[in-house]
């Protein structure tokens, strides 16, 4: 519950104005050895202790203590921001969501990462490294990644005699054919995450990128008032209007959508990899066990573009033992640890070659489409005021989807808003 | 007491109140019932909308207490924090309330007004500076960091409530006691306090429930699991995959947190109501 | 600042004026009072006054911006005077502010009116009922006893697209989307939690009204409605007013329910507390503190106006009832009201 995981943030309210300076060593040596703390979101896999004890047994003098932060991303960010603003050495290594990189880097709360001394970087999928950069410099090391995929009902597509779609138009045709089947009657065509929250930013960006548009261009300037972007947004808006996307999907976060898909109410579903294991559960919670498969996201004129998710590890600027912290990150970024983590938690690794391992592929059949998705994926805007930017994007997308504004108008307004927010 | 206007029968007249009672009970308990039903479903048919959980399952309850959630410890912490807040509030508040009810001094109303006004400031903005202060004095992750700020809402309401109770007690009581040779302090302790017991008891329960329900402060001031209260722990439950929200175990935990209060309410409801009517004083 | 009046207004009810003079002879009571009150004032000074002053100070500062050259945020806050306040009332922010202001006011008025009506109705029913009174009293305390966090989760659960609420009404209402339905879901959840308690308070007030009063009214030929209007209402009014006042103060700060049930950034339900939260969430503490202060002023003004407008009535009541000295009923309602403050605040959370 993000809600209440709340005002921790405010903490720093009165902290900012004292002892300016802080620990902002830029690109300097990472020094100091000894025990460190690792701040991470809730470990849902239960595998983290094993990883950490593997490190601790090898490094008795530099033991890692795990600090589990709240489950919600907001709650995690708040606690890390709080610790940073108070310039406390409470966390040495921070497990950052990809969208926080800019904020933490610009505030000099995390150390710059010397690329040369982190061998894992050359083995990581290049797109994941982008998410750890701010203004061309690296501030974190990619550990896990995440990309959207198209879950589809294999059984029904086969029955209707159609291939998994590569474009939105193909998806619509496939859907009509399936709906013509007795089993497909009244079924929803497609859904993603359209509730007004971070998931909407993700889905909106994917629609725009999938039509060849951008939200924020390579030059760091917003450029969302374009025909391409309009085509992308109109795909979603029209799908809502025609009922291809069920009305209820405007309230969907990941979980609501997963439920609909597992209940057999959806033919196509844009979702993260985590759904695969849950929808395959044989305890009766899923009605689509063995009946679905995954493909890369479709786009306007060809395969679509996913928005990048995932987590990167960064070194706190206020950590005492930065050398130990750097070593711990290297350890966690190693192929061995990444592979172990994938097997135990099914989180997508940053390490590229793991996706091609046949043994792993047998266990996680979605690895190939997932890799394709991540390799082509686009990061969300790397801006300091990410909270405001994503709120503006959600506002525009939600207004268009709920037909409060015409898509064109929504994009024009969004362009104005983003231009004033991204002035750097 | 409270008889109605002569029962001149008529089935409608007789049964209408009963129907009303039934409606009220339904209104109050239906959502709570739904919480229980959801708690006792199997996690796999969590989204069933049947009125009775079928099959009946304790899986959610087990999940709540399974190792690593820290929920049992959280309940103990809640008890400790809410209990201490209640005791502190009563000790400090009793003295203040008695003073305000019985002593005559200038600015008395102003003092009461100030005490009431303190409960008007948005809680959000009180917590921030306190957090900063507690960081400075190394109070973060301590029980007192939850207990002391809770006084900000507990104390004003206790003082206000108790003042009203004391004011209703006839002044002659103390006068009689003092004639008998008691000091004012003795008069307070030996005569007033026992007589005010129902009011004090009511205040205690109200304070305890308010403190037991407190969430923001506990969430903000304590980040280590061993010291988090049950409310905070519920809000941080997660499912197996991180993204999934385990409504079932949240509901189960909600039932468990609420049940002690419901039992307390059932046991003491006579007292609570007696205290509320304040008739018990006489 | 604003609250003195309720207290002052109630004093005549509690203390016959005669006793005041008797006590005036006490010497040095001021000193004694100061000593006895110091613990309370000390605690409140620490946990309320100090934070308020800090927040006021904070509201005059703004955090550093991003340096376009380096891309780094400049350290330290700058003093900006009242800029944070004027910013609230200009441009886009003003629209958002007034929308939130309207929502907050609307929630407050609607919830409090509904809760009062329902509460009074419940109390009347319970007052007439002989059988099942214990059950009803116990069950009425249940919504109040459920922690706010848990009740917010419960209602979110009920208002899912495929949840219990839609199953009951038999069609799919998307409760968390913009529009009347999201407003309704918040009002329903809030009313559920607090109306029963108002009912209990009013019941307590009702029980102190001696039966003879009604008997007499009946003899005079008063109808049931007249009895309610002329006897019941005036006698439970002091208790009710205090309850309503504190419910208003609570609802003006409403945050949890709209945030959990509907979500942030939704125009239909965004309240002033949510605006303050949003600013703080984006690490703009100065503006956040400014919003909080504006909200505080609004709350204080409402409280002041409420007491000024209705406070006179409270006194008027007391005057009417004065002849019937030594009545239980005279003293009970204020006590009831006071106790209500506790319970209702408990319901609302911080």
Domains of chain C in start order, with CATH, are 4-26+93-348 (1.10.3720.10)
Question: Is the pLDDT score of B69 beyond 60?
Answer: yes
Find the mean pLDDT for residues A299-319. 94
Q: Cα(C239)–Cα(B228) distance, rounded to whole angstroms?
A: 37
User: Phi-psi category of A286—alpha, beta or left, where left has phi over 0 and alpha has psi -120 to 50?
Assistant: beta
Residue B140 DSSP symbol: T
Whether residue B48 sits in one domain with residue B134: no
The CATH number of residue B168's host domain is 1.10.3720.10
Q: Report the pLDDT value the prediction gives residue A177, as an integer from 0 to 100.
A: 95
- Kindly list the distances between the CA atom of residue A328 and the CA atoms of A59, A64, A67, A143, in Å, as whole numbers in the listed order: 10, 8, 15, 12
Q: Is A73 on the interface with C (CB under 8 A)?
A: no
More confident residue, A333 or B183: A333
Q: Report the pLDDT value the prediction gives residue C146, as an integer from 0 to 100.
A: 86
Q: Report the pLDDT value the prediction gives residue C162, as an integer from 0 to 100.
A: 84
Q: Report the pLDDT value the prediction gives residue B7, as an integer from 0 to 100.
A: 45
Residue B85 tokens read as 């807040």
Whether residue B109 sits in one domain with residue B20: no
User: Phi-psi category of A406—alpha, beta or left, where left has phi over 0 and alpha has psi -120 to 50?
Assistant: beta
C-facing residues of B in 37-66 (CB < 8 A) are: 38, 47, 49
Whether residue B215 sits in one domain with residue B123: yes
Q: Across the interface, do A250 and C174 touch by the CB < 8 Å criterion?
A: yes
Number of C-alpha atoms within 13 angstroms, CB side, residue C180?
1
Q: Cα(B106)–Cα(B108) distance, rounded to whole angstroms?
A: 5
Whether residue B209 sits in one domain with residue B76: yes
Who contacts C307 (Cβ-Cβ below 8 Å, separation ≥6)?
Answer: C2, C3, C5, C6, C9, C245
Give the chains touching C; criterion: ≥3 Cβ pairs < 8 Å.
Answer: A, B
pLDDT confidence band for C332 (50 / 70 / 90): very low
The CATH architecture annotation of domain A149-307+385-421 reads 3-Layer(aba) Sandwich (3.40)
Question: Is the pLDDT score of C115 beyond 90?
Answer: yes
CA A248, chain centre distance (Å) = 23
Q: Report the pLDDT value the prediction gives residue B222, as an integer from 0 to 100.
A: 83
Question: Is the pLDDT score of C320 beyond 60?
Answer: no
pLDDT confidence band for B272 (50 / 70 / 90): low
Chain A residues with CB inside 8 Å of B245's CB?
A: 1, 255
More confident residue, C236 or C176: C176
Q: Which of B133, B168, B207 sits opposite C14 (nearest CB)?
A: B168
More confident residue, C3 or A165: A165
B-facing residues of C in 237-276 (CB < 8 A) are: 249, 253, 255, 273, 276
* Domain ranges across chain A: 7-146+308-376, 149-307+385-421
Whether residue B170 sits in one domain with residue B79: yes
Please state the ipTM of this predicted complex. Answer: 0.84
- Lowest-confidence segment of A249-258, A343-352, B45-54 by average pLDDT: B45-54
Whether residue B150 sits in one domain with residue B108: yes
Structural domain boundaries, residue B20:
11-60
> Nearest-CA distance from B42 to chain C in Å?
16
- Lowest-confidence segment of A264-273, B162-171, B270-279, C266-275 by average pLDDT: B270-279
Same topology for domains A7-146+308-376 and A149-307+385-421, yes or no?
A: yes
Q: Across the interface, do A107 and C72 touch by the CB < 8 Å criterion?
A: yes
Nearest residue to C301 (alpha-carbon basis) of C101, C71, C166: C101
Q: Report the pLDDT value the prediction gives residue B240, as an integer from 0 to 100.
A: 58
Give just the sign of the alpha carbon dihedral A302, A307, A310, A315.
positive
Whether residue B112 sits in one domain with residue B153: yes
Q: Is residue B270 part of a domain?
A: no
Whether residue B32 sits in one domain with residue B123: no
Q: Report the pLDDT value the prediction gives residue A74, as an integer from 0 to 100.
A: 80
> Nearest-CA distance from B246 to chain A in Å?
10
With beta carbons less than 8 A apart as the criterion, state whether A32 and A322 touch: yes
**Buried/exposed code over A215-233 (b: 16+ C-beta within 10 A; e: otherwise):** bbeeeeebbbbbebbbbbb
> Nearest-CA distance from B19 to chain A in Å?
37
B-facing residues of C in 327-346 (CB < 8 A) are: 328, 331-332, 334-343, 345-346
> Nearest-CA distance from B80 to chain C in Å?
17
pLDDT by residue (tens digit) across A177-206?
999 999 999 899 999 999 999 999 999 999
Instruction: Determine which of C1, C2, C3, C279 to mutate to test the interface with B (most B C-beta atoms within 10 Å).
Output: C3
Query: Residue A292: phi, psi to the nearest 5?
Result: -130, 165
Instruction: Determine which of A1, A11, A193 to mutate to test the interface with B (most B C-beta atoms within 10 Å).
Output: A11
Whether residue B189 sits in one domain with residue B95: yes
For C161, name the nearest residue in chain A, comparing CA atoms only: A248
Question: Is the pLDDT score of A2 beyond 90?
Answer: no
Q: Which of C15, C50, C341 sits opposite B161 (nearest CB)?
A: C341
Q: Is residue B278 part of a domain?
A: no
Q: Which of A1, A8, A274 sits opposite B242 (nearest CB)?
A: A274
Q: Is residue B135 part of a domain?
A: yes
Q: Is C263 on the interface with A (CB under 8 A)?
A: yes
Q: Is the omega angle on the peptide bond into residue B55 within 30 degrees of 0, that is, cis?
A: yes
Q: Across the interface, do C207 and B214 touch by the CB < 8 Å criterion?
A: no
pLDDT confidence band for B277 (50 / 70 / 90): low
Whether residue B115 sits in one domain with residue B229: yes
- Residue pairs spanning B and C at CB distance below 8 A: 362
Q: Is residue B219 part of a domain?
A: yes
- Kindly list the distances between the CA atom of residue A308 and the CA atoms of A167, A207, A209, A347, A354, in Å, as whole numbers in the listed order: 20, 13, 12, 14, 18
Question: Is the pLDDT score of A274 beyond 80?
Answer: yes
CATH 3.30.479.10 for the A7-146+308-376 domain, yes or no: no
Chain C residues with CB inside 8 Å of B136's CB?
A: none
Whether residue B151 sits in one domain with residue B17: no
Chain C residues with CB inside 8 Å of A6's CB?
A: 277
> Nearest-CA distance from B242 to chain A in Å?
5
Whether pTM exceeds 0.80: yes
DSSP secondary structure of A111-162: PPP-GGG-THHHHB-HHHHHTTEETTEE--EEEEEE--EEEEEHHHHHHHT-
Whether residue B91 sits in one domain with residue B53: no
Is beta strand A149-153 parallel, antiparallel or unpaired with respect to A141-146? unpaired
Number of domains in chain B: 2
Is beta strand A348-349 parallel, antiparallel or unpaired with respect to A149-153? unpaired
Q: Is B9 on the interface with C (CB under 8 A)?
A: no
Q: Cα(C153)–Cα(C159) distance, rounded to whole angstroms?
A: 10
> What percent of chain B has pLDDT above 90?
17
What's the angle, vertex CA A378, arms to CA A213 and CA A399, rounded to 5? 55
């Amino acid at each position: 519950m993000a809600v209440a995981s709340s005002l921790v943030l405010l903490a720093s309210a009165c902290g900012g104005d004292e002892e300016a300076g802080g620990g902002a060593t830029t690109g300097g040596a990472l020094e100091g050895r000894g025990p460190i703390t690792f701040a991470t979101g809730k470990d849902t896999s239960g595998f983290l202790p094993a990883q950490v004890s593997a490190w601790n047994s090898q490094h008795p003098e530099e033991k890692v203590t795990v600090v589990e932060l709240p489950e919600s991303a907001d709650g995690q960010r708040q606690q890390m921001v709080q610790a940073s603003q108070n310039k406390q050495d409470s966390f040495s290594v921070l497990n950052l969501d990809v969208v926080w990189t800019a904020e933490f880097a610009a505030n000099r709360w995390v150390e710059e990462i010397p690329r040369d001394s982190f061998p894992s970087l050359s083995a990581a999928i290049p797109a994941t490294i982008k998410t750890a950069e701010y203004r061309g410099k690296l501030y974190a090391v990619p550990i896990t990644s995440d990309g959207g995929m198209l879950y589809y009902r294999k059984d029904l597509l086969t029955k209707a005699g159609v291939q998994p779609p590569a474009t939105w138009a193909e998806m619509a045709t496939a859907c009509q054919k399936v709906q013509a089947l007795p089993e497909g009657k009244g079924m929803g065509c497609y859904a993603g995450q359209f509730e007004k929250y971070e998931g909407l930013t993700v889905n909106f960006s994917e629609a725009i990128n999938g039509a060849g548009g951008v939200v924020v261009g390579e030059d760091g300037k917003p450029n969302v008032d374009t025909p391409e972007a309009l085509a992308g947004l109109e795909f979603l808006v029209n799908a809502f209007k025609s009922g291809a996307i069920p009305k209820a999907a405007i309230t969907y976060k990941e979980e609501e959508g997963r439920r609909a898909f597992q209940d057999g109410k959806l033919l196509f579903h844009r979702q993260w990899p985590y759904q695969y294991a849950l929808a395959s559960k044989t305890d009766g919670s899923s009605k689509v066990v063995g009946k679905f498969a995954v493909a890369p996201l479709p786009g306007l004129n060809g395969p679509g573009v996913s928005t990048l998710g995932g987590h990167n590890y960064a070194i706190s600027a206020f950590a005492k033992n930065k050398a130990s912290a750097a070593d711990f990150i290297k350890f966690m970024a190693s192929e061995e640890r990444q592979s172990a983590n994938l097997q135990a938690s099914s989180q997508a690794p940053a390490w590229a070659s793991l996706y091609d391992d046949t043994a792993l592929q047998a266990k996680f059949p979605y690895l190939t489409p997932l890799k394709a998705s991540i390799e082509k994926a686009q990061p969300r805007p790397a801006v300091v005021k990410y909270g405001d930017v994503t709120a503006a994007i959600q506002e525009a997308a939600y207004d268009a989807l709920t037909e409060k504004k015409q898509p064109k108008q929504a994009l024009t307004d969004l362009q104005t808003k983003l231009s004033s927010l991204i002035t750097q | 007491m409270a008889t109605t206007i002569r029962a001149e029968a008529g089935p409608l007249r007789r049964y209408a109140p009963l129907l009303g009672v039934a409606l009220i009970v339904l209104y109050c308990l239906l959502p709570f019932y739904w919480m229980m039903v959801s708690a006792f479903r199997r996690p796999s048919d969590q989204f069933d909308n049947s009125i009775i959980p079928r099959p009946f399952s304790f899986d959610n309850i087990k999940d709540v207490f399974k190792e690593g959630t820290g929920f049992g410890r959280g309940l103990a912490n809640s008890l400790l924090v809410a209990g201490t807040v209640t005791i502190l509030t009563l000790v400090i508040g009793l003295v203040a309330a008695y003073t305000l009810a019985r002593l005559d001094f200038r600015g008395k109303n102003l003092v009461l007004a100030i005490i009431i006004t303190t409960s008007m400031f948005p809680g959000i903005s009180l917590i921030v500076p306190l957090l900063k202060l507690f960081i400075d004095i190394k109070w973060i992750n301590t029980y007192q960091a939850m207990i002391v700020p809770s006084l900000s809402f507990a104390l004003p309401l206790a003082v206000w409530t108790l003042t009203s109770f004391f004011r209703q007690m006839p002044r002659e009581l103390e006068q009689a006691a003092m004639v008998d040779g008691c000091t004012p302090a003795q008069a307070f302790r030996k005569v007033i306090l026992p007589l005010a017991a129902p009011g004090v008891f009511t205040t205690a329960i109200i304070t305890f429930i308010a403190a037991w329900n407190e969430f923001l402060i506990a969430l903000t001031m304590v980040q280590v699991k061993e010291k988090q209260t049950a409310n905070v722990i519920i809000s941080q439950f997660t499912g197996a995959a991180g993204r999934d929200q385990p409504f079932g175990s949240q509901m189960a935990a909600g039932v468990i947190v609420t049940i002690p209060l419901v039992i307390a309410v059932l046991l003491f409801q006579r007292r609570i109501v007696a205290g509320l009517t304040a008739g018990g004083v006489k | 600042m604003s609250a003195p009046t309720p207290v002052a207004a109630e004093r005549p009810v509690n203390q016959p004026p005669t006793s005041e003079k008797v006590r005036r002879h006490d010497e040095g009571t001021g000193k004694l009072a100061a000593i006895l009150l110091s613990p309370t004032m000390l605690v409140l000074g620490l946990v309320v006054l100090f934070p308020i002053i800090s927040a006021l100070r904070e509201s005059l500062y703004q955090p550093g911006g991003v340096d376009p050259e380096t891309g780094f945020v400049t350290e330290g806050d700058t003093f900006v005077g009242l800029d944070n306040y004027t910013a609230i009332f200009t441009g886009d922010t003003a629209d958002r502010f007034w929308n939130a202001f309207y929502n907050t006011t609307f929630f407050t008025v609607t919830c409090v009116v509904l809760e009062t009506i329902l509460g009074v109705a419940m109390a009347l029913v319970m007052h007439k009922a002989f059988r099942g009174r214990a059950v009803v009293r116990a069950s009425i305390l249940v919504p109040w006893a459920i922690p706010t966090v848990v009740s917010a989760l419960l209602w979110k659960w009920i208002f899912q697209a495929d949840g219990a609420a839609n199953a009951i009404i038999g069609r799919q209402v998307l409760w968390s989307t913009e529009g009347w339905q999201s407003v309704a879901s918040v009002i329903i959840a809030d009313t559920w939690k607090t109306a029963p308690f108002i009912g209990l308070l009013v019941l307590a007030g009702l029980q102190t009204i001696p039966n003879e009063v009604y008997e007499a009214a009946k003899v005079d030929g008063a109808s049931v409605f007249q009895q309610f209007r002329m006897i019941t209402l005036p006698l439970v009014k002091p208790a009710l007013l205090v309850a309503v006042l504190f419910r208003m103060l609570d609802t003006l700060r409403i945050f949890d329910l709209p945030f959990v049930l509907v979500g942030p950034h939704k125009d239909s339900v965004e309240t002033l507390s949510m605006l303050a939260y949003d600013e703080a969430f984006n690490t703009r503490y100065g503006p956040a503190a400014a919003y909080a202060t504006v909200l505080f002023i609004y709350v204080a003004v409402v409280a002041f106006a409420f007491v000024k407008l209705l406070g006179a009535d409270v006194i008027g009541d007391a005057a009417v009832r004065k002849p019937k000295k030594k009545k239980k009923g005279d003293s009970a309602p204020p006590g009831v009201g006071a106790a209500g403050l506790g319970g209702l605040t408990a319901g609302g959370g911080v």
